[in-house]
Amino acid sequence: VIKLSGNIELAPLVGLAEVIIDLVSTGRTLRENNLVAIDEITEATARLVANRVSYRVKYDRLLSFIEAIKNSR
């Protein structure tokens, strides 16, 4: 097992690895590199975390940020 970062989809293509574990959203990059997902190990989610003071003081700003992210999908 070796830890890679960056475009790890290239590892099997250049002979650096036989298989990879990657965080995948749509699977597009895997398909573009002719790779196939063998199994889903776990489901992951992204979380926005704020301390209590920031949450209270900057609530409107945080809400705008959250909405902007949701609308960008």
Looking at the structure, do residues 49 and 28 belong to the same domain, yes or no?
A: no
**53-72 burial string, b = 16+ CB within 10 Å, else e?**
eeeeeeeeeeeeeeeeeeee
Looking at the structure, do residues 27 and 55 belong to the same domain, yes or no?
A: no
Looking at the structure, do residues 38 and 49 belong to the same domain, yes or no?
A: no
What distances in angstroms separate CA 59 from CA 54, 56, 69, 73, one per listed residue? 7, 5, 15, 22
pLDDT digits 0-9 by tens, 21-37: 998 888 898 999 999 99
* Whole-number pLDDT of residue 11: 92
Q: pLDDT grade, residue 73 (50/70/90)?
A: confident
- Global pTM value: 0.57
Mean predicted confidence (pLDDT) in 8-22: 91
Looking at the structure, do residues 34 and 53 belong to the same domain, yes or no?
A: no
Return the number of other C-beta atoms located less than 10 Å from residue 48's C-beta.
Answer: 8
pLDDT digits 0-9 by tens, 36-71: 999 999 998 888 899 999 999 999 999 999 999 889
For residue 56, the enclosing domain spans: 45-73
Query: What's the domain count of the chain?
Result: 2
